Chains A and B, each alone.
Chain A
Amino acid sequence: MNATAERVGFFTDTSVCIGCKACEVACKEWNLVPEDGLVWTGDSYDNTSELGANTWRHVAFVEQRAPLRLDGDVATLDAEPMRWLMESDVCKHCTHAGCLDVCPTGALFRTEFGTVVVQEDVCNGCGYCVPACPFGVLDKRHLPRKPDDMPLQLPLLGKNEDGRVWKCTLCYDRLKGGHEPACAQACPTKSIQFGELDELRERADKRLEKLQAEQWNGARLYGRDEDDGVGGFGAFFLLLDEPEVYGLPPDPVVPTKHLPRLWASTALASAAVFAGVALAFLGGRE
């Protein structure tokens, strides 16, 4: 593999997702993502709930009293229209990635494929990337450590839990071997499409044009625009409603966008601490 491969990513077209969760399973299997508890939520067919340290693909299910198309919904036998939205969520592999910017150890890095990956042998579990991600993708793994990774038996320095931060690697190991990521390969409807980002964007534009011509209710691309707050997603989506309906932020911005001004403000505040303390010495010591 050459050092400067084309930037790759996902185009997740939710209009053809059938909610089979093959992507969730394939991801867990390939990446050895551990099981973190089985619960019943009552939120439609979604018992996974959100992306996190132990969920790198998450299928959202939304049941709506809304027509699938705006031109009279032929699929509805009922008087009241109904549609069932399904969306396989994943790390966005942002062009300007907040997690990568704030990582103080260099554990998070940009690969030769343009993806964002955590080096688990470097991460020290500081947790800064967790609130720095505008999408709530990353989280700390609280499960016990593996037997080959036992903690130091020293005060302060030994903890029994894994304690590192985990997220989608866009199957970095599979890309290295010239394969597509496990979720995309397992997807039976081509809802998850893997490829070179430029080509995926063209494909997405055509797909959106078709759906809009067919008057699909609420069809839009999310994360395709390179001028958005994170410089465009490496993994972008075709949605059928507003992003927040799927648990996605409507207008995500990388925190570091404001950092130059924030550092300037911090420098001024530091000067003010100097000045304030110096002022306290005026007027004698009693």
Chain B
Amino acid sequence: MTGTPSGKRSVTELGSQMRSYYGRPIVKEPVWQPEIPFYLWTGGIGGASSVLHGVARLTGNHELAKRTLLIGAAADAVSPLLLISDLGRPERFLNMFRVFKVTSPMSVGSWILGVSGTASATAAALELLGLRGPMKWLAEAVSFVTGPPLATYTGALFANTAIPVWSEARDELPWLFGASASASAGAAALIATPAESAAPARRAAIGGSLAALGLAELMERKLGVVGEVYKQGDAGRYGKIAKAATAAGAALIATRGKRSRAAAALGGTLVLAGELALRWSVFRAGFQSAADPKYTVITQKERSRA
């Protein structure tokens, strides 16, 4: 019988002492395909764009309001297509609306996306048709209110699993995804909006980027030994791209974004790319932490000992 290792040790050391069943994983890797990290990104853009749109409308910034409405509606329209494409039985996608279960972030999220997407599509269609009645006001209000949960629930969805690197980050993931969504929605709006109306988009892109960079760092540190997957393999590579592109984009927007439309567009593109890479990094980290049983065993033994 080997006892539980005590004291501070590296995960590699702990892993070599741990006994396993031929090194086989204990939890299954997710079966989700590349559609999912892309959806995390588009869903985030859709949700946070709805908020940008709502505040722009309330403050009378019509140039920004129109563009964020169309960007949000486009992102909300692509999102369900990605999700349906990921299903094993795409023809049964409507089964997502058989029930509403608060124990399932995917159930809650499906309803949020359904309501938010319908509202933003309606508002965008009325905008393009030039119909500005109470119907449009209502659709905009619904999409405004459902935007933030749409941008953050995916963090709860990932955290509510047995995947060590996701479940142990349950205090950070909704915040990280919310920050990432705000950065990408700001960046997308910045690319599309003339400079004289784009200041809020600029600030959202910069602020969201800084928050996402800080939260990613915080998450990796708090994860302790399990956080090492963010330094390895695909998660590590995407993580590096995410940090470099987000930081470079935010810096470019902050220094040149106000005067040069080209610099704003380039900075916005970098932030969008960085946030997409961040979603991929978190996605792949989940697979990596499931593939090696040591992450499951160490997390659970440390918890039992605490």
Q: Are both chains from one complex?
A: yes
**Contacts A244-B20, A269-B174, A277-B51: A156 and B297 contacting too (C-beta < 8 A)?**
no
Nearest A residue (CB) for B201: A280
Complex interface: chain B residues within 8 A of A124 (CB): 87-90, 92-93, 95-96
The chain B residue with its CB closest to the CB of A250 is B300
| Interface core residue of B87, B149, B179 (most chain A CB under 10 Å) | B87
Residues in B with CB closer than 8 Å to A125 are 87-89, 92
- Contact in complex: B64, A258 (CB < 8 Å): no
Interface segment among B52-60, B120-128, B233-241, B243-251: the answer is B52-60
From the candidates B28, B87, B286, B297, name the one contacting A250 in the complex (CB within 8 A): B297
Q: Interface residue count for A (Cβ, 8 Å)?
A: 87
Q: How near does chain A come to B233, taking the closest CB pair, in angstroms? A: 18
Report whether A62 and B21 are in contact in the complex, using a CB–CB cutoff of 8 Å: yes
Contact (A101, B104) CB under 8 Å given A163-B88, A286-B199 = yes
Give the contacts of B111-164 with A (CB-CB under 8 A): 147-149, 151-153, 155-157, 159-163
Closest to B33 in A: A127
Evaluate whether A283 and B170 lie within 8 angstroms (CB atoms) in the complex, with A136-B27, A259-B160 already known. Answer: no
A255 at the interface (CB under 8 A from B): yes
A49 vs B258: C-alpha distance in the bound complex, in angstroms? Answer: 59
Residue B211 lies at the interface, judged by CB distance under 8 Å to chain A: yes
* B95 in contact with A270 (CB, 8 Å): no
Interface with B: A6-14, A30-38, A103-111, which one? Answer: A103-111
The CB with the most chain B CB atoms within 10 A, among A133, A135, A252, A278, is that of: A278
Q: Mark A259-276, 1 if CB is under 8 A from B, else 0.
A: 101110111111111101
Q: Confirm or deny: B214 has a beta carbon within 8 angstroms of a beta carbon on chain A.
A: no
| A214 touches B (CB below 8 Å) | no
CB contact between B297 and one of A135, A244, A258 (< 8 Å): that residue = A244
Bound CA–CA A157/B21 (angstroms)? 39
How long is the Cα–Cα vector from A113 to B203 in the complex, in angstroms?
A: 57
Per-residue CB contact flags for chain A residues 94-131 toward chain B (1 = under 8 Å, else 0) read 00001001111111000000000000001111111011
Cβ-based interface call for B43 (8 A):
no
> Are B25 and A252 in contact, with the CB atoms below 8 A?
no
Min CB–CB distance B91 → chain A (angstroms):
5
Closest CB of chain A to B300's CB: distance in Å? 4
B63 to chain A, nearest CB (A): 8
Chain A hits for B11, CB < 8 A: none
Find the A residue at minimum CB distance from B54.
A277
- The 8 Å CB contact of A102, one of B84, B105, B203, B296, is B105
Chain B interface bracket (under 10, 10 to 19, 20 to 34, 35 or more):
35 or more
Whether the pair A244, B56 counts as a contact (CB closer than 8 A) is no
Question: Which residues in A have their C-beta under 8 angstroms from that of B263?
Answer: none
Minimum CB–CB distance from B266 to chain A (whole Å) comes to 20
- Distance in angstroms between the alpha carbons of A139 and B289 in the assembled complex: 17
Which residues 225-274 of A sit at the B interface, judged by CB distance below 8 A? 241-242, 244-253, 255-256, 258-259, 261-263, 265-274
Q: A161 interface residue, CB < 8 Å from B? A: yes
Q: Which residue of A lies closest to B90 (CB)?
A: A157
Q: Does B46 contact A (CB under 8 A)?
A: no
The answer for the CA separation of A279 and B207 in the assembled complex, in Å, is: 10
Note all chain A residues with C-beta closer than 8 A to B175: 265, 268-269, 272
Any A CB within 8 A of the CB of B262: no
- Please report the C-alpha to C-alpha distance between residue A61 and residue B205 in the assembled complex, in whole angstroms: 55
Whether A269 lies near B204 (C-beta < 8 A) is no
Whole-angstrom distance between the alpha carbons of A140 and B32 in the complex?
Answer: 10
Contacts of A138 in B (CB 8 A): 28
Partner of A277, one of B110, B156, B177, B182: B182
Q: Which of B211, B293, B296 has the most CB of A within 10 A?
A: B296
A258 contacts across to B, CB distance below 8 A: 159-160, 167, 170
Q: Could you tell me which residues of chain B, from 77 to 108, have a CB within 8 Å of some CB in chain A? A: 81, 84-93, 95-96, 98-99, 101-107
Contact of B149 among A98, A123, A152, A270 (CB under 8 A): A270
- Residues A107 and B95 in contact in the complex (CB < 8 Å), given A242-B19, A250-B297: yes
Name 6 interchain pairs, CB-CB below 8 A, sorted by A. Answer: A49-B24, A126-B87, A131-B286, A137-B28, A163-B89, A280-B201
Pick the 6 closest A-B CB pairs, nearest first: A125-B88, A163-B88, A247-B21, A270-B148, A124-B92, A104-B107
- Residues on B facing A (Cβ under 8 Å): 1-2, 18-22, 24-32, 47-48, 51-52, 55-56, 59, 61, 64, 81, 84-93, 95-96, 98-99, 101-107, 110, 147-149, 151-153, 155-157, 159-163, 166-167, 170-171, 174-175, 177-179, 181-182, 186, 195-201, 203-204, 207-208, 211, 258, 286, 290, 293, 296-297, 300-301, 303-304
- Apart from the given pairs A136-B27, A244-B293, A273-B147, 12 other A-B contacts in the complex at a CB distance below 8 Å: A126-B87, A126-B96, A127-B31, A130-B28, A247-B22, A250-B301, A250-B304, A251-B304, A265-B170, A269-B175, A270-B152, A273-B181
